[in-house]
Amino acid sequence: MNAEGGPPHACDDCLRRAWLIGSLVGYIEKVVSTAPGQRAQELLAFSDEDLVDAIAGRRGKTFLERARKRDPNRLREAIAGARAWACCRHDPCYPKGIRDLGDPPAALFGRGDADLLAALDPGSLVTIVGSRRPSGYGRELASALGRDLGSAGLVVVSGMAMGIDSCAHQGALEASAVTVAVLGTGVDLPYPPRCARLYEEIVERGLVISELPPGTQAYRWTFPARNRIMAALGAMTVVVEARERSGSLITSTMAQELGRDVGAVPGRVGSSPAAGTNGLLRDGGHLIRDAQDVLDSMVGVGANGARPRPVPRGRALDAELSRVLDLVESGLGSADALARSSGLEPGPLAAALVRLELSGYLRSDSAGRYERTALAAPDQ
């Protein structure tokens, strides 16, 4: 056993168990194809014997024998080769939250500064999850939450998926805070590949962890399985935009089952990217508007971790620009609607919109709709 403060350590038995699961990922995928989330969790809770029996039947014996013969030092070499480290459940560094799971992974693999793992305070971890296809509003909120919670000293945990997850990580990194990415692949594989740059940044300044040995590819079941780690890791789970039957809701359900607080950011009624989160709120989730709401429920009302930022103010606007700005604020997003209501010709209107966007008052999404930013107009 490892002394407090030392480098993370994994014992032979735990490494063998992790290796066994790593070598069976493809078989598990076949067995759990119908309900990847639930069934995989049941399987992962099995002992080695029951696991191989459940997925390979008679051939299971050979799997087991082979697994028992494996030399854990070879896995240790592979881990070192991937510039990663491993930490088993017998190590004091092993995050306490994850021990609450019925089936805590035998070993966690990680990349990034291992000292950060030992220093993680279970009470300061907040999990932010959400849609992979969020709206511009969702993106904005996720990065603001990541940034403000990070600067309040909390550690943002997420899954590095596209969309909300990436935004939350990004926000935390902007605030120079520690952030933890839990992957559904081996810890040395940036997944999705598009997030490779984010991955490098997190490795540099935070932690990337996974229960799967380095080199393990992504399967459908590995993502719900990693969701349980995220749910267990965070003292609170916040969902920013989730559709109905979204994977993010799996995380929040697991968090509830573990007795963790669950919060959700409200969205427009009837908007499908927010159907899941609005449902969570109806079912009694905490309503989250900003980082302060998270702090209130995690630390207690009045905790002033999140310094209220001064509302930024932009440069002065002439009458025409402020009229257009008012119209956008009143909810008109498309240039066509603005052209009709403002009475401006499309040409000058387009010029006005670009000026407002360049001075930071507006932002536009890929579909060309305009939204108001947080930047306030200067007092007249």
Partner 1 sequence: MFAIARTFALVGVAAEPVHVEVDIGSGLPSFTIVGLPDAAVRESRERVRSALVNSGFKFPQQRITANLAPADLPKAGPGFDLAIATALLVSTDQLPQTVLDRYALAGELALDGQIRPVPGALAMAEATRGWGLAGVAVAPEDATHAALVQGLDVMPIRHLNEMRLLAEGAVEPHPPSSPPTGDEELPDLGDLRGHPVLRRCLEIAAAGAHSLLLIGPPGGGKTLALQRLPSLLPPLSCEEVIEVTRIAGVCGENGGPRLRRPFRSPHHTISGRALVGGGAPPRPGEVTRAHRGVLLLDELGEFRRDALEALRVPLEEGAVTVTRTSGAVSLPCRFMLVAASNPCPCGHGPDSGECDCHPTAVSRYMAKLSGALADRIDITLTVDPPPAEELSDAEAEGSGAVRERVIRARRAQERRLGPGRTNAEMTPAETRRHCEIDRASRQTLEAGHRQLGLSARGWDRCLRLARTIADLAGEERIAEPHVAEAIEKRRRGQS
139 binds partner 1 (CB under 8 A): no
347 binds partner 1 (CB under 8 A): yes
Rounded (10°) CA dihedral 166, 171, 177, 178? -10
20 vs 353, beta carbon nearer partner 1: 353
54 vs 350, beta carbon nearer partner 1: 350
309 binds partner 1 (CB under 8 A): no
Applying the rule CB under 8 A, the residues between 44 and 73 that interact with partner 1 are: none
348 binds partner 1 (CB under 8 A): yes
Among positions 3, 331, 367, 379, the unique one binding partner 1 when judged by CB under 8 A: 367
316 binds partner 1 (CB under 8 A): no
Could you tell me which stretch among 52-60, 177-185, 198-206, 339-347 binds partner 1 (CB under 8 A)?
A: 339-347
128 vs 274, beta carbon nearer partner 1: 274
Q: Which two tokens stand for residue 222?
A: 């590995």
CB of 42 to partner 1, least distance (A): 27
72 vs 136, beta carbon nearer partner 1: 136
CB of 137 to partner 1, least distance (A): 10
Could you tell me which stretch among 68-76, 282-290, 309-317, 346-354 binds partner 1 (CB under 8 A)?
A: 346-354
Q: Site residues (CB under 8 A) for partner 1? A: 132-133, 135-136, 162-163, 194, 271-273, 334-337, 339-340, 345-355, 357-358, 365-369
